[in-house]
Amino acid sequence: MNKKLLLLCLMASLALCFVGCKKRELPENVVSLLSDTTKDTVKFGVYGDPLDLSPILHSESEHGQLVKHFVHAAPLRQTPEGKFVPGLFKDFYCSLNDDGNLVVDGQWRTNLKWHDNSEFNPDSLTYTISLMADKKNESPYYETAKDLISIENMPDNRCKIVFKEDSVKYLELLTLGLIPNASESFDLDEYVTKPIGLGPYMIAERKKGSHIILKPFEAFYDNKANTRPKTLLVHSVYDIQSLISDFRAKKYDWITAPSIIIPQLETIGIEKVAIKRYINNACLVWAFNTGKPELANANVRKALDLLIDRNIVKNQFPMDCLPLFASPLSPRTEKPDYEQRKAKALEILKTEGYTKEKPLVISILVNDDNLSRKVIAQEMVKMLAIANVKADVVSVPWGEFVNKKLVNKEYSTVLTSLYLPAKGNWGNLLANDKQSTRLNFVGVDNDIITGILKNLDSAVNNNAEEQLRQQLANFLDNNSPFAFLVRPLDVSLSHSEEKTDSVFDVQLFNEVQNWPMLYGPAEQ
C-alpha cells in the first residue's frame, strides 16, 4: 500500500466516521473566540484532544505537549538548541562530588505561586520525582527518576539535588513540570484533566474532547502577563476537512495536521500560508546485530545499507519524512543516485565472497502491531533479492520484541525507531552497559566510542562538543551499526503574507514553546 492509497483510505475512513454525525455544538464563548480577529486571542486548531496533561506522564499527542508547556513550569527550561536555562530556578550550576554523582545546585525564585494562588512549596520537586519513581504510575521517566539520591532544601531558597551519575538526562528531568505536594487522597487520574501548574498560562476552562481556554497567569515569575495574548484557545477537531476549511476561513491562527494530508493541501493551493515541517524526535533505522558472524563485517553492513532504496521506504512510510543516507549527526547531503549505491553494494558483496551460489542469509525483525514497518520490511526483502541476499520478515508481539528478542540479541537485523534527543545526546545509543533501554542491542563494544558518548552525555564536561559529535558521526557512517532510513516530519500551518514551505531543524512546538510571548527574550 503506497502513500497515496493510505491517504485515500484515511480520507474515506474520516468520511465514514462523520457521515450522519451531528456537528458538535460549541459553547457561545468558544464560538465568539473563534471569530475574534484581534491579537488578544490566539487560536490553535489541533487534530484530536490533548488528553492527559500531567507533567510526569507520556503525551499521546504533540499538542498535549504544547498545552503542558503553557501550563507547567519547572526548575529548568530547555531551548530548541538543547541549552538548559533557568526556569523556576533563578540560577543553577552543576558539579560532580567525590563519588561521581551529579550535583545540581539551584536557587528558587521568590514568591512563586500555583495557579490557584497557593504558595509554592519546594517539597513539590521531591514529591513530583517520587511520583515518577513509583512504578504503578507508569511514568516514562521511571528509570531516570529512580536514580535520584537526595534533594536538600537549604536557606536562602537554595536547593541541592544529587543524582546517581553525570548525565544530561537528569537535567531533562528537571524541565518536566511540577505537581503540588498533595495529601494521600491525591488522585493523579483526576489531576491530569485540569492540572494546577506554575506556568505562564492557566487553564480557565476545559471540556475534554472539545476545547481548552488558557489565560495568562498574573503571578507568573517574569511579571509579563500583561504583555501576552489575553486568551489562548486550543480547539480539538476530528474532521480533517473541517480543520483545513476553518483554517482557510481564518478561524484558526495556527493548526497541526497529519503530514499525510500535505499532498492534498498542495492540490487545494491555499494562498498566504506558511507550511512548516519540523523534524520529529525519532527516526526509522535498520539495526544490525553485529554479534552475528554474517554481520560482524562492517563492509557487509555498508552493502546492506546501500541496497535500500530510500524512495521506496519513503513512499511506504505513513508520514511525510526526510530520507536519510547517513546518521543525523552528519551534514545533510544531496540525494545520492540509487543505481550507483546499488552497484557499489553488489561490488562489496562480491568482494566479500557472497554470490548466487553462496548467498548472504538474514532476517528482518519487526513488531507485529506496526503495519507500516511490516510493509517496509517486505519491500526491503525485494530490494535485497536483487543482490542475491536471502531475507525473510520475522514478526512478533511487542512484548516479545522488546523483552526477549532485543534484550537477548535473538535477531539478525531489526527495523525499529530510534529516539534522537534535541541536543543529540547519544548516550542511550551504544553505551557498553547491559541496560536494554540503552539500545545496545547492536552489540557495539568500543571503548573510544563509549568515552565520546559519556562526554556528550555529561552535564558538566561538555567541552569540544562539536568535535566529539563529528567523531561519533564518522564512526556511525563508517561502521554502519545502523542504516538510518527516514526521519518523520511533523507539520504546522499558519497564516503568512506569502506562501512558504520550509523544513526546520527543530522539533514541532519548540518554536511555539519558546515564543517570546511566553517567556520573553531568550536568556543568554
Cell of 257: 495536521
Q: What is the pTM of this model?
A: 0.80
Q: Return the half-sphere exposure (C-beta side, CA atoms, 13 A cut-off) of residue 311.
A: 6
Report whether 517 contacts 227 (CB < 8 A): yes
303 vs 315: CA distance, rounded Å: 22
| Domain 26-72+199-272+496-519, second-level architecture | 3-Layer(aba) Sandwich (3.40)
179 vs 189: CA distance, rounded Å: 13
What is the chain's mean pLDDT, rounded?
A: 84
Segments making up each domain of the chain, as ranges: 26-72+199-272+496-519, 76-173, 282-488
State the CATH class of domain 282-488.
alpha beta
Calculate mean pLDDT across residues 19-42: 78
In this structure, of 16-25, 70-79, 187-196, 486-495, the range with the lowest mean pLDDT score is 16-25
Residues linked to residue 323 through DSSP beta bridges, in sequence order: 486
Question: E-strand spans in 146-210?
Answer: 148-154, 158-163, 201-207
pLDDT tens for residues 234-266?
Answer: 999 988 888 888 988 889 988 887 777 776 776
pLDDT tens for residues 153-200?
Answer: 999 999 999 999 998 889 999 999 999 987 655 677 778 888 999 999
84 vs 218: CA distance, rounded Å: 25
Calculate mean pLDDT across residues 263-272: 72
Residues 6+ apart with CB under 8 A from 136: none
Fold of 76-173: Dipeptide-binding Protein; domain 1 (3.90.76)
pLDDT at residue 522 greater than cutoff 60: no
Cell of 161: 539535588
Instruction: Give whole-number Cα distances, 107 to 74, 110, 122, 147, in Å.
Output: 12, 9, 10, 22
Element (H, E) at 246: helix 240-248
* pLDDT for position 437: 40
* pLDDT for position 79: 79
Maximum distance among all alpha carbons in the chain? 77
Calculate mean pLDDT across residues 213-236: 92
Helical residues (DSSP H) of 293-420, grouped into ranges? 298-307, 310-316, 338-351, 371-385, 398-400
Calculate mean pLDDT across residues 205-221: 94
pLDDT tens for residues 310-339?
Answer: 999 999 998 888 899 988 888 777 788 999
341 — pLDDT class (breaks 50, 70, 90): very high
